[in-house]
Amino acid sequence: MRLLRLLIGAIVVFVLILGAGLFLVPGEQIARVAAEELSRRTGREVTVAGDARLSLWPQLGVTVGALQIANADWSDNGPLFQARSVTIGVDAAALLKKDIRIRALRAEGPQILLERNADGTGNWEIERPAGTATSATAPAAPAAPARALPAFTLDRAEITGAALYYIDRQTGTEISQRDIDLTLTYPQADGPVGIDLTLRPAGDPVHLTGTVADATALAAGNVTGLKLDITAPGATGAFDGRASVRPEAQGKLTLDVSDTARLARALRQSPPDLPAGLGRDLRLSGTVTLTKDGQLSLREGTLASGTNRATLAADLTTAGDRPVLRAQVGAEALDLSALTTGDKAQATAAPTAGSGWSTAPIDASALGLIDGEIGLTAPEIDLGVTKLGPTRTVITIDRARAVADLREVSIFGGKVTGEFVANNRNGLSVGGTLNASNIALQRTLSELAGITRFTGDASATLKFLASGQSVAALMNALSGEGGIDTGRGTIEGIDLDRLFRGGDPTGGTTIFDATRATFTLDKGVLTNRDLLMKLAGIEARGEGAIGLGRQDIDYVFTPVSLQARNGQGLALPVVIRGPWAGPKIFVDVEKAIQLNAAGEKARLEEELRQKAADKLGIEQKTGESTEDALRRTIEEEAKKGLLKLFNR
């Protein structure tokens, strides 16, 4: 990097002038000569305010006050570099041998301003002074070899209270860091450089220590070996690899974050309110690569939080309004129960008897932190309300809207495919289209609704939508439609065979062969009108409503014994009404009488009509009912009577 070479050159210039003129010229003259030499070398105006104060003991040294290096001519934001004072101490004996051994270098309150203009040019790119250019008409002279800086070593350099500012006019980025402390050691020429850096973005120190393998290569913008240890509030880490100041890097990274929120505050970021096991703590390792255009990738990565562990390959782009992440995650058994079980409220999404749905607010703000596409495979996922078996899904996130493409989800003993959407752009809403097969009814209804009466396997389709900031609000806002198809199963708590024998229908078990039904959802209420259940010698129909939000039921289940009453059939409507926690189940006697007496009533009415027809001598025509024949006969007799009346 040209700026680093410039600063090293400035140190060497001061040392050489100090050694040459220590006893010959006053400090003011030394400062002026040094500033002129630096200006000549860089093409930038260099000024030193005040004298250069000399010292002989304990080391040969000079202190320069208020050093400034001018910015590029296209910038109006102030100097490139300025410091209240700079002190340099050298080994006098080594200097006499033309070796530059810097014993100490101290800078107080330096301020460095780095800028990139709209054309992408950096203010640290120092060009050769214009006077060195050749004439357009004169033949180009062979380029003189650049004089290398004399070899030097640095026992210790200290920078305290520094400020660094970065302005990028291409992207509109502005970054500032204050109260920076830096210690450098360079004890052997062409050897490694020791680094001890302390940053304080929000007050608490973030500490980096390590070594740079080749300082000359780093200063030239080339890649060199780099080892760093990182200590920050709530986190430790290490990097072992290669890097340059462009910036770009590649190497092994380990990171152990015990408190993500504390680390975020230390980095002057908004602390995320992440659940336990889902980022509140974090352990990361892998091979990272950072390119100079800001692309960050991770390979052979491992990621852990709480008891959750996974392998990870990821690419992160930080340009734009939000970071964009593309990743493949191969998880072990995942515990995501914190998403539906609030740590503070300790509220469970699945209801217990009489408890109602959780009203604890759902914080879905994490959906807006990042965009991208994440592929996930896991052998087991605990969602709190239920557990998933082997799962394969792809999650796409775009501006706080996440779409999960469920390619394979094992749940409730069966499989689910389809799409699930969570949208937090204007408040939280969820929706999707799901297709399920071989789902265990008892486990499904028990875990989702607290209903344990049904057994058997089912296939189902569901299209749904809901909005709200809690589980209770979502369940009370459900809308959509669907259908269900089952094979053989049972209904616990109802014995239809006992019912038709005249006993108490409660208690016992009903076995059915197949069930079909469709339903609609509106404001959290599931409505069904066409339930058809087939049993041995019994056919059952049902209609009514199930309050998914209110957790209640008002349903009429009407089984018909096809062989009863000498094959005429017997219908006994069973009412299921009340809260899920304890609904009442009883036979609607009045409706039963109406249903079963309807046939008897029609038969008796037909017999009466037939007797009347016989007494009146009514002859039925083909296809004519007794009632129609009676009406026709009466009309005909009435006409005859009227004709006789008029004939008189």
SS (H, E, C) 288-301: EEECCCCEEEEEEE
Mean pLDDT over 306-329 rounds to 90
Mean pLDDT over 606-619 rounds to 58
81-102: pLDDT as tens digits: 888 888 877 776 666 666 667 6
Of the three residues 160, 189, 218, the one that is the final residue of a domain is 189
408-428: pLDDT as tens digits: 899 888 999 999 999 999 999
Residue 292 has pLDDT above 70, yes or no: yes
Position 491 scores a pLDDT of 77
Q: Is residue 412 part of a domain?
A: no
Q: Report whether 209 contacts 195 (CB < 8 A).
A: yes
Position 609 scores a pLDDT of 58
CA distances from 538 to 54, 227, 267, 532, 590 (A): 111, 79, 71, 11, 21
Predicted model pTM: 0.66
How far apart are the C-alpha atoms of 109 and 161, rounded to whole Å? 5
Position 558 scores a pLDDT of 85
Q: Is residue 9 part of a domain?
A: yes
Q: Report whether 309 contacts 291 (CB < 8 A).
A: no
Q: H-helix or E-strand containing 471?
A: helix 471-476
Position 641 scores a pLDDT of 44
Residue 527 has pLDDT above 90, yes or no: yes
Residue 14 has pLDDT above 80, yes or no: no
Mean pLDDT over 607-620 rounds to 58
Q: Is residue 494 part of a domain?
A: no
User: Residue 302 is encoded by which pair of tokens?
Assistant: 């491992």
Residue 58 backbone dihedrals phi, psi, to 5 degrees: -85, -5
How much is the CA Rg of the chain, to the nearest whole Å? 43
Q: What is the mean pLDDT of the chain?
A: 79
Q: How confident is the model at residue 484 (pLDDT cuts 50, 70, 90)?
A: very high
Position 133 scores a pLDDT of 43
Q: Which domain holds residue 50?
A: 1-127+150-189
Mean pLDDT over 250-267 rounds to 93
How far apart are the C-alpha atoms of 55 and 18, rounded to whole Å? 10
Percent of the chain with pLDDT over 90: 34
Of the three residues 189, 211, 239, the one that is the final residue of a domain is 189
Task: Count other Cβ atoms within 10 Å, centred on residue 94.
Answer: 17
Query: For 62-76, 336-350, 525-539, which range has the lowest pLDDT when averaged over its residues?
Result: 336-350
Evaluate the omega torsion of the peptide bond into residue 139 and state whether it is cis, within 30 degrees of 0. Answer: no
Per-residue DSSP letters for 29-76? HHHHHHHHHHHHHHSS-EEE-S-EEEE-SSSEEEEEEEEEE---TT--
Residue 65 has pLDDT above 80, yes or no: no
Q: How confident is the model at residue 250 (pLDDT cuts 50, 70, 90)?
A: very high
Residue 266 backbone dihedrals phi, psi, to 5 degrees: -65, -25
Higher pLDDT, 164 or 33: 164
How far apart are the C-alpha atoms of 112 and 80, rounded to whole Å? 6
Query: For 150-154, 533-537, 578-582, which range has the lowest pLDDT when averaged over its residues?
Result: 150-154
Q: Report whether 402 contacts 395 (CB < 8 A).
A: yes
User: What residues pair up with 90 in beta bridges, in sequence order?
Assistant: 60, 102
Query: For 251-255, 342-346, 455-459, which range has the lowest pLDDT when averaged over its residues?
Result: 342-346
Position 144 scores a pLDDT of 44
User: Residue 255 is encoded by which pair of tokens?
Assistant: 């990171």
Task: Specify which of 317-326, 440-449, 479-488, 612-621 reaches the highest per-range mean pLDDT.
Answer: 479-488
Residue 590 has pLDDT above 80, yes or no: no
Q: Is residue 28 part of a domain?
A: yes
Mean pLDDT over 398-405 rounds to 94
How far apart are the C-alpha atoms of 166 and 176, rounded to whole Å? 6
User: Residue 58 is encoded by which pair of tokens?
Assistant: 């304990």
Residue 607 has pLDDT above 90, yes or no: no
Task: Count other Cβ atoms within 10 Å, centred on residue 563.
Answer: 12
User: Residue 525 is encoded by which pair of tokens?
Assistant: 């209420």
Position 254 scores a pLDDT of 96
How far apart are the C-alpha atoms of 371 and 393, rounded to whole Å? 17
Q: H-helix or E-strand containing 97?
A: none
230-244: pLDDT as tens digits: 999 999 999 999 998
Residue 10 has pLDDT above 80, yes or no: no
Position 631 scores a pLDDT of 59
Q: Is residue 555 part of a domain?
A: no
The number of CA neighbours under 13 Å toward the Cβ of 293 is 2
Percent of the chain with pLDDT over 70: 72
Position 574 scores a pLDDT of 84
Query: For 137-146, 282-291, 426-435, 597-606, which range has the lowest pLDDT when averaged over its residues?
Result: 137-146
495-514: pLDDT as tens digits: 666 665 655 656 677 777 88
In terms of C-beta density within 10 A (0-12 exposed, 13-18 middle, 19 or more buried), how is residue 431 classed? middle
b/e 364-378 (16+ beta carbons within 10 angstroms → b): bebbeeebbbbbbbb
User: Residue 445 is encoded by which pair of tokens?
Assistant: 């209804």
Higher pLDDT, 20 or 267: 267
Residue 303 has pLDDT above 90, yes or no: yes
Task: Count other Cβ atoms within 10 Å, centred on residue 534.
Answer: 13
Tokens 């490139």 locate to: 80
3-state secondary structure of 203: coil
Q: Is residue 491 part of a domain?
A: no
Q: Is residue 589 part of a domain?
A: no
Position 106 scores a pLDDT of 84
Query: For 45-59, 398-412, 548-562, which range has the lowest pLDDT when averaged over its residues?
Result: 45-59
How far apart are the C-alpha atoms of 363 and 377, rounded to whole Å? 25
Of the three residues 137, 158, 189, the one that is the final residue of a domain is 189
Query: For 14-18, 37-41, 333-337, which range has the lowest pLDDT when averaged over its residues?
Result: 14-18
Position 136 scores a pLDDT of 41
Number of structural domains in the chain: 2
Q: Is residue 275 part of a domain?
A: no
How far apart are the C-alpha atoms of 460 and 477, rounded to whole Å? 21
Position 58 scores a pLDDT of 61
Per DSSP, 139 falls in state: P
CA distances from 536 to 50, 502, 542, 575 (A): 108, 18, 17, 21
| Sequence-ordered alpha helix ranges (H) in 282-413 | none
Per DSSP, 626 falls in state: H
Residue 222 has pLDDT above 80, yes or no: yes
**How far out from the chain centre does Cα 453 lie?**
38
Mean pLDDT over 14-38 rounds to 57
Query: For 339-343, 383-387, 612-616, which range has the lowest pLDDT when averaged over its residues?
Result: 612-616
Mean pLDDT over 555-578 rounds to 75
Q: Report whether 513 contacts 442 (CB < 8 A).
A: no
CA distances from 641 to 308, 616, 644 (A): 98, 16, 5
How far apart are the C-alpha atoms of 420 and 220, rounded to whole Å? 52
Task: Specify which of 43-47, 110-114, 186-190 reaches the highest per-range mean pLDDT.
Answer: 110-114
Q: How confident is the model at residue 29 (pLDDT cuts 50, 70, 90)?
A: low
Higher pLDDT, 638 or 357: 357
Residue 50 has pLDDT above 70, yes or no: no
Q: How confident is the model at residue 217 (pLDDT cuts 50, 70, 90)?
A: confident
Q: Report whether 64 contacts 81 (CB < 8 A).
A: no
Q: H-helix or E-strand containing 15?
A: helix 2-21
Residue 205 backbone dihedrals phi, psi, to 5 degrees: -75, 140
